[in-house]
Amino acid sequence: MHETFEHTADLGLRVRAGSLNELFAEAGRALFSVIVDDLASVNQVREVKVELTGDEPEYLLFDWLKELLYFFDAEHLLLSRFEVKVTESRVTGTAWGETLDPDRHALAHEVKAITYHGLNVERRPDEWLAEVIVDI
C-alpha cells in the first residue's frame, strides 16, 4: 500500500509493506503512480535490471528510486511492475514497463528528483514503513 502527502513544493510518498522486498517494490509503484495517471495502462513489455550496493536501507531506497527515475528521464520508460530482493548492503531488482505513449499515457506530475529530506525506512512490529519526498 502507498499514499501521497503534500510537502511544500514537493510530494511525499508513504509506503507500507509486509517485507523489505515488498516495500521497495511498492515504492517503485508509488513513484510511477505519481508520474502517470493510470499505472494499469502501462504494459509490461520491456524489462530492466537494477543492482545497487549501500549500507543503510534509507540510502538503498533512495538509490533504487533514483535509478528508476533515471529510466524515465533518459529513456521515457514508464515502469509498472517490480520484483526486488534487498539485503543489508544490496538491492537487486527487475522492473517491467514500456516507453511513454502520449496517446495512451497521461502524465500526472513531473518528478524532478528524489530527495534526502525526510527520507525514512523503518521496521514496525507488523510492517515496514518508508517515507520519501520527491521534488515535483
Instruction: Tell me how many domains the chain contains.
Output: 1
* Arithmetic mean of pLDDT, 13-40: 97
pLDDT value at position 2? 78
Any alpha helices (H) in the chain, and if so which ranges?
20-35, 57-75
Beta strand spans in the chain (E):
2-7, 10-17, 46-53, 77-86, 90-99, 113-114, 120-123, 128-135
CATH number of domain containing 87: 3.55.10.10
| Of 113, 123, 105, 12, nearest in space to 57 by CA | 123
Which of 97, 84, 88 has its CA nearest to residue 24?
84
**Mean pLDDT along residues 65-89:** 97
Domain extent for 76: 2-135
Residue 9: its pLDDT value, please?
65
Range scoring the smallest mean pLDDT among 4-18, 70-84, 85-99: 4-18
Q: Mapping DSSP to helix (H, G, I), strand (E, B) and coil, where does residue 93 land? A: strand
Query: Looking at residues 81-100, what average pLDDT do you find?
Result: 97
pLDDT at 101 over 60: yes
For residue 131, the model assigns a pLDDT of 96
Q: With a cut of 60, say whether residue 7 has pLDDT above it.
A: no
For the entire predicted model, the pTM comes to 0.92
pLDDT of 11 > 60? The answer is yes
